[in-house]
Structure 1
Amino acid sequence: MKRALAFMICLLFVLPLFAEAEAQPGSIIEKGIASWYTSDMAGSLTANGEVFDPTSLSAAHKSLKFGTLVRVTNLDKNKSVDVRINDRGPFIEGRIIDLTPAAAKQAGLLDSGIANVTLTLIFQPEVPESKYDRPGDTGWYQIQVGAYSSLLTAYSQYDRLLNAGLRPYAEQLPDTKAVRLTVRWIPAYQLDKTVKVLSALGFDEKNILKKSEANPYK
């Protein structure tokens, strides 16, 4: 009964019932293989528009917001380095972060080339540190999971999403009685995990619409 009431309030006021919390500083957000990379071209740019500097303590990650600081801990040698994310990669399956040569040396993986690591969040900026203004740089997503003409069906799906630990949001579409359900806000590094949860609930990944948004907490 309480959930049904909350669902109706959500529709009436068109406000998020919940907000996806960011990972807290000090928490391990990922574990996998780190590698290092460099560039043979002077003046080559990173994905956020900065000049690549092999002597800087920076790194490439597939999805973390530009400007995020993470501690990369080499589990093989018990060495760490704090790096700033300013590029995208690595693009080899199984690898989670690419370090500059300077960062790789400090983390003890310059000679080995790769190492098992953990990524511990230190800091996330409110606004991505990028010279561009592209959707993929925001680091936040909403996912549309469906639109329903039946209020009962919409509530049933809303309840399933809530029970799965997601953060559903319901809104009535203008000039119609249909209810649209979305899951928001999702940090970029949790996007794949969220999509897998939705797929397990029967929401086909190929039909899921993912939309990157500006940081909702700035």
Structure 2
Amino acid sequence: MKRLSFAFFFSILFFAAFAQIQTGKASFYADKFEGSPTASGEKYKHNKLTGAHRSLPFGTKVKVTNTANNKSVEVIINDRGPWVESRIIDLSKSAAEELGFINQGVAEVQLEVLDPGDGKTSDPARTIDQVTVEDKEFYEFEITRTKPKGYGVQIGTYQELVNLMRLSDNLKNSYKKHVTVQVKVLNGLKYYGLILGKFPSREKAEQFKGELKNKFPDAFIVEYGRL
């Protein structure tokens, strides 16, 4: 078996505990998206209790509460979004109906993580986290805890550290960008958000995201100060 040996450098942005409660605005899918594929590979169905979140792993179960009427619903995250600045989740139409905000279009909600799920998608062809590992691989680390500023492009969220290491090294060599790993802890389980680049403006980050769209169509912009 071929032996691999190379230097692997990245910075870790570490959070001892990732907030399990989040507040903000919720919206819901328009009817035109019925049957369209989500970022996880599943098709959107208005009658299923699902949602889109920017960073929570696919399969995560969250409780969403409409703070105006105290109605709640439990949904499974299977898509990425929303991409409107003030919104934190897009819900299926049936979930929005249970929360009672179909007529308003948008509602103030609270999200609570109930189960972090397995982070996997229903379509193996779209699961970047599946990486073939050789029997013997060696990595050399130089790790720095950091508080980055500006913007980056998050490629995905992973559970297996070896997958993260191999993908991080490949991306660093391919795109010549700084690699940052955000460690999130959900219900005692660690997840690793892989972020490329440190850009001074959202515009610069958007330009770089455009370079990634063919290989990583689900990549999205993050602002380090808000993580």
Task: Tell me the TM-score normalised to structure 1 length.
Answer: 0.53
Q: Which residue of 1 aligns with 2:134?
A: none
Q: Which residue of 2 aligns with 1:175?
A: none
Matched, 1:109 2:101: yes
Cα distance in 1, alignment partners of residues 50 and 83 from structure 2: 17
* Greater strand share, structure number: 2
Could you tell me which runs of 5 or more consecutive residues in structure 1 were left unpaired when the two chains were aligned.
Answer: 1-16, 139-153, 163-180, 196-202, 213-218
Q: 1:133 to 1:114 in 2, by over 3 A?
A: same
Q: 1:130 to 1:64 in 2, by over 3 A?
A: farther
Query: How much is the aligned-residue C-alpha RMSD, in angstroms?
Result: 4.2
Judge conservation of contact 2:58–2:118 (CA < 8 Å) in 1.
no
Could you tell me which runs of 5 or more consecutive residues in structure 2 were left unpaired when the two chains were aligned.
Answer: 1-11, 131-141, 148-177, 186-190, 206-215, 217-227
Match of residue 96, structure 1, among 65, 88, 113: 88
What are the within-5 Å matches in structure 2 for residues 57-206 of structure 1?
57-131=49-123, 132-135=125-128, 158=144, 161=146, 184-187=181-184, 205=199
Give SS of 1:40's match: helix
Q: Pick the structure with greater CA Rg.
A: 1
Paired residue total? 148
> Structure 1 residue 184: deviation in Å?
4.2
> Structure 1 residue 44: deviation in Å?
1.6
Matched, 1:51 2:48: no
* Greater helix share, structure number: 1
Give the partner amino acid of 2:100. G
After superposing on structure 2, the runs of 4+ consecutive aligned residues of structure 1 that deviate more than 6 Å are 188-192
Task: Tell me the TM-score normalised to structure 2 length.
Answer: 0.51
Cα distance in 2, alignment partners of residues 49 and 204 from structure 1: 29
